[in-house]
């Protein structure tokens, strides 16, 4: 994929997410009375609370039943830093099977993505962990492909005998722009979604024969994939020491 095409995809995705976020009404929530401690001081949204959130992608779990030729499992974690920034990590694994008349092979891989999220909505209180965000990721996947058997089919000259290619191990690298939202539906339990644009950085590695599916990236024969995730997550929270001192 050319740099010009990549920039076009990134621009379109950024504008789409911005329009989507701008069109959604934002309702202010009343600050909880517990935000005020006994000495009259108020906990600011960024002055109290750590959170580590762990989640699983429900779309990937559902697609495992829909697609018979590919399987995938994806998980995510993020940790709140400050000023509405979150460190983010994602990982998982998957495999695919190509079983056509003229082409047969399998592939499998694990993957990891590292980056950050930035919430574009200010928190109403230190207890407010709902977020609408945008983020960046860098992804890496080691891929293992089995030996390949294939037949060149020709209606005029006839089909060639079955030929084979040896198995191969190689890596995939990609960059990702993501946007989405997450809402706390019960204490510590979140539901949310992400829209992701993924752009392969080493597409030349797949010129010989691209994997049908790369877990974490999507179709291996495409230079860019747009993917939708739905996460169910749980947040582990604890207060900052500075807030505990306010209580004493």
- Asked if residue 236 lies in contact with residue 188, where contact means CB atoms within 8 angstroms, the answer is yes
Q: Report yes or no on 57 lying in a domain.
A: yes
Say if 8 falls within a structural domain. Answer: yes
Q: pLDDT for 26-55, tens place per residue?
A: 333 334 444 444 444 555 655 557 899 999
Residue 95: inside a domain, yes or no? yes
Pairing of strands 85-99, 70-80: antiparallel
Q: Is residue 56 situated within a structural domain? A: yes
- Give the domain extent around 151: 3-14+51-247
User: What CATH number did the domain enclosing 220 receive?
Assistant: 2.40.160.20
CA atoms of 104 and 160, how far apart (whole Å): 15
- What Rg value do the Cα atoms of the chain yield, rounded? 23
pLDDT of residue 101: 83
Whether 224 is covered by a domain: the verdict is yes
* Residue 203, in any domain of the structure: yes
Burial of residue 240 (CB within 10 Å: 0-12, 13-18, 19+) is middle
Q: How many domains does one find in the chain?
A: 1
Asked, for residue 118, whether it belongs to a domain, the answer is: yes
| 42 found inside a domain | no
Of residues 140, 54, 151, 52, the one with CA closest to residue 100: 151
Model-wide pTM > 0.85? no
Q: Up-side HSE of residue 24: CA atoms within 13 Å toward CB?
A: 15
Digit-coded pLDDT (tens) for 160-175? 667 788 999 999 999 9
């Amino acid at each position: 994929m050319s740099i010009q095409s990549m920039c076009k995809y990134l621009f379109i995705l950024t504008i789409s997410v911005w329009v989507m976020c701008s069109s959604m009404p934002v309702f202010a929530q009343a600050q909880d009375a517990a935000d005020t401690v006994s000495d009259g001081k108020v906990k600011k949204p960024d002055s109290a609370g750590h959170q580590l959130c762990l989640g699983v992608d429900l779309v990937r779990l559902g697609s495992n039943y829909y697609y018979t030729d590919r399987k995938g499992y994806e998980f995510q974690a993020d940790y709140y830093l400050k000023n509405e920034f979150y460190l983010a990590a994602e990982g998982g694994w998957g495999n695919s099977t190509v079983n056509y008349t003229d082409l047969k092979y399998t592939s499998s891989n694990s993957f990891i993505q590292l980056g950050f999220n930035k919430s574009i909505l200010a928190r109403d209180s230190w207890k407010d962990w709902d977020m609408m965000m945008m983020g960046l990721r860098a992804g890496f996947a080691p891929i293992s492909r089995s030996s390949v058997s294939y037949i060149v089919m020709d209606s005029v000259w006839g089909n060639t005998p079955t030929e084979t290619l040896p198995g191969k191990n190689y890596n995939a690298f990609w960059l990702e722009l993501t946007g989405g939202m997450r809402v706390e539906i019960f204490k510590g339990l979140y539901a949310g979604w992400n829209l992701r644009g993924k752009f392969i950085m080493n597409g030349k590695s797949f010129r010989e024969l691209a994997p049908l599916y790369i877990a974490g990236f999507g179709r291996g024969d495409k230079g860019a994939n747009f993917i939708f995730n739905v996460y169910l997550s749980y947040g582990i929270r604890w207060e900052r020491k500075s807030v505990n001192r306010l209580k004493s």
